[in-house]
Amino acid sequence: MTLKPRTTPELAAVTMAEIEPKYTPQEAKVEADRCLYCFDAPCIMACPTGIDIPGFIKKISTNNLTGSARVILESNILGASCARVCPTSVLCEGACVLLDRDEKPIKIGRLQRYATDHVFENNINVFKNKPRPNGRKVALIGGGPASLGCAAELAQLGYQTVIFEKKPEAGGLNTYGIAYYKLTPEVSLDEVQLVKSLGVEIRTGVEVGVDVGMDKILAEFDAVFLGVGLGHTYQLDIPGEDKGGVVEALEFIEWIHTKPLHQVPVGARVAVIGCGNTAIDAVTQAKRLGAKEAIIIYRRGEDDMPAYEYEYEIAKKDGCGFMFHTAPVEVLGDGHVTGLRLVRTKNNAQGKAEVVPGTEFDEPFDMVIKALGQQKQKAMLNKLVPDLALDKSGCIDVNPQTGQTNIEKVFAGGDARNGGREVVNAVAEGKKAARGIHAWLNGQAVDGPVQASRLGCKDGVTGSGYDHPRRVPELEAEYFAKLNEVSHG
């Protein structure tokens, strides 16, 4: 057995089609009309980029689609991809007041997509005001969401900005690493074009530290933003890991984004190790691309998985298998993987998974996808910026308000700083760093515009998610857990 394409263009067009297609104009109008247009709305408080959500929805309702997209993109330059990949049920939609009235929150993500699609499909430029160049230059290392968010904001403040990206295309994981049925690379590349249209220069195929020295960049630019993301997936650290057919989840997903779908190699029986959101993206796409069986292997239980509930639902609907409380101990095979030696595990008193001795068994697989999470790039960062302060986990240490690192002219944001969160967090951190850079270089802070749906807010309103993002469902769970403690304690 070996990895080979297992689908046809026609079949892939169906199995890999977007799971949430674009609203029709009427669907969008009906959904937008449901929005109550809250004052100082909780959804804004739950959005890390602080989009004026009732504001953009109202504009859909009045058929001012360009204005709607402008509201979104002014707060979040990657609003089109976030509309598709944000875990809205724990962010904006999880804060919707309608959950308390009729349990059906406004479909904010889908409306956001509807508005942003309008301007991308019709080539409408929502940013009409060209800022006057202020003569300063900022370099951004890495071309993912954090750098794009940072560069877009800087460009609008008049900075000359240059993004250095080692891959052939910018966009980072949005271009290469998200399930195809949620976000196609075209959407991400459209966003890259939008950022470029603001005057941002993107040098692709350039690896900083290899093709161009960091010292040269530090000397040439007034400030540097590190948006380098994370590195390779964690290793299984078991015998046989180097056999053919053992791939990293992001590598597999990158194939999907760089090859025609019917040429993506996949196994007949695929094991995915790990149960985070990337693991789900990998297992579902393996199944959708023709694997007869695609099975998640996870050392802990159903309730412990880091994947979002709705992601789990997608995988179950796709017919993916789940082996909980199971861990691999050896990759079997001669050159190419033929199976995994597995062992049963159980959660110990501390909630950690531990092996149950004597439970080993073998399962045949011809492809093993490792999805154990990405590693921090400690070594790379140390080499790139030798004195850069990292925290204990290996993330870049920054001032959370400004994104500034211990090295004055170096700022950071995104996965390299937060250890791996949502696209929307990366954009928000990039934007914060841009404002941090501006404040540091000019000695003055930048305030965002007052949001239309909050016009007339007095001091002391709860505030935007940009200042202090809150996940309402989690806060709720915390609150009730505390209540329980009190009533039982």
Partner 1 sequence: MADLSINLAGIKSPNPFWVASAPPSNTAYQSHRAFEAGWGGVVWKTIGDPIVNVSSRYSSHDLAGQRMVGFNNIELISDRTPETNFREIREVKDRWPHHAVIASLMTDTRENWHDMMKRSADAGADGVELNFGCPHGMCERGMGSAVGQNPDVIEAIVGWVMEAAEIPVIVKLTPNITDITQPARAAKRAGADAISMINTINSITQVNLDTMCPEPYVAGKSTHGGYCGPAVKPIALNMVHCCAADPLVQLPISGIGGISTWKDAAEFIALGSTSVQVCTAIMHYGFRIVEDMIDGLNDFLDGKGYASVNELRGKAVRSVDKWETLNLNYKRVAEINYDKCIGCNLCYIACEDGAHQAIDLITPDGYGLGPGRLPGKKIPQIIEDHCVGCNLCSIVCPVDNCITMVDRDTGKPFMSWKDYQEKLAKGEMERIPAHP
Q: What is the pattern of x (binds partner 1, CB under 8 A) and - over residues 32-51?
A: -x--xxxxxxx--x------
**Least spacing, CB of residue 23 vs partner 1, in Å:** 14
- Counting contacts by CB under 8 A, is residue 66 touching partner 1? no
DSSP annotation of 367 reads: E
Q: Which is nearer to partner 1, 368 or 472 (CB)?
A: 472
Stretch that binds partner 1, among 25-33, 125-133, 165-173, 368-376 (CB under 8 A): 25-33
State the Cα–Cα distance between residues 73 and 67, nearest whole angstrom. Answer: 10
Q: Which is nearer to partner 1, 98 or 355 (CB)?
A: 98
Q: What is the pattern of x (binds partner 1, CB under 8 A) and - over residues 462-481?
A: x-------x-x--xx--x--
- Counting contacts by CB under 8 A, is residue 456 touching partner 1? yes
Stretch that binds partner 1, among 75-83, 242-250, 423-431, 452-460 (CB under 8 A): 452-460
Q: Which is nearer to partner 1, 131 or 463 (CB)?
A: 463
Tell me if 200 sits within 8 A of 152, measured CB to CB: yes
**Least spacing, CB of residue 98 vs partner 1, in Å:** 7
**Least spacing, CB of residue 34 vs partner 1, in Å:** 9
Q: Which is nearer to partner 1, 386 or 460 (CB)?
A: 460
Q: Under rule CB under 8 A, which residues in 185-214 are in contact with partner 1?
A: none
**Least spacing, CB of residue 103 vs partner 1, in Å:** 11
**Least spacing, CB of residue 76 vs partner 1, in Å:** 21
**Least spacing, CB of residue 45 vs partner 1, in Å:** 6
**Least spacing, CB of residue 33 vs partner 1, in Å:** 4
State the Cα–Cα distance between residues 60 and 37, nearest whole angstrom. Answer: 12
Long-range pairs of 22-30 with CB within 8 A, sequence gap ≥ 24: 22/113, 22/114, 22/117, 23/110, 23/111, 23/113, 23/114, 28/60, 28/110, 28/111, 28/114, 29/60, 29/61, 29/63
Number of residues that bind partner 1 (CB under 8 A): 28
Residue bearing tokens 């890390």: 48
**Least spacing, CB of residue 37 vs partner 1, in Å:** 7
Q: Which is nearer to partner 1, 17 or 455 (CB)?
A: 455
Sorted by sequence, the CB contacts under 8 Å of residue 148 that are 6+ apart come out as 77, 78, 163, 170, 171, 172, 191, 192, 195, 200, 427, 430
User: Shortest CA distance to 95 belongs to which of 36, 32, 172, 139?
Assistant: 36
Task: Give kind and range of the element (H or E) at residue 68.
Answer: helix 65-75
Q: Which is nearer to partner 1, 37 or 361 (CB)?
A: 37
User: Shortest CA distance to 53 belongs to which of 17, 92, 14, 8?
Assistant: 92
Question: Which tokens is 88 given?
Answer: 């809205």
Stretch that binds partner 1, among 27-35, 71-79, 342-350, 382-390 (CB under 8 A): 27-35
Question: Residue 355's beta-bridge partner residues?
Answer: 345
The count of residues in the chain is 489
DSSP characters for 160-216? EEEEEESSSSSSTHHHHSS-TTT--HHHHHHHHHHHHHTT-EEEET--BTTTB-HHH
Q: Under rule CB under 8 A, which residues in 309-328 are in contact with partner 1?
A: none
- Counting contacts by CB under 8 A, is residue 452 touching partner 1? no
**Least spacing, CB of residue 67 vs partner 1, in Å:** 16
Q: What is the pattern of x (binds partner 1, CB under 8 A) and - over residues 85-124?
A: ----------x-xxxxx-----------------------
Sorted by sequence, the CB contacts under 8 Å of residue 149 that are 6+ apart come out as 49, 76, 77, 78, 413, 426, 427, 428, 429, 430, 431, 434
Q: Under rule CB under 8 A, which residues in 67-86 are in contact with partner 1?
A: none
SS3 content of the chain, % helix, strand, coil (to 5): 40, 15, 45
Q: How far apart are the first and last CA of the chain?
A: 58
Question: Which tokens is 320 given?
Answer: 């993916």
Q: Which is nearer to partner 1, 302 or 474 (CB)?
A: 474
Q: Which is nearer to partner 1, 240 or 465 (CB)?
A: 465
Enumerate binding residues for partner 1 (CB under 8 A): 29-30, 33, 36-42, 45, 61, 95, 97-101, 456, 458, 460-462, 470, 472, 475-476, 479
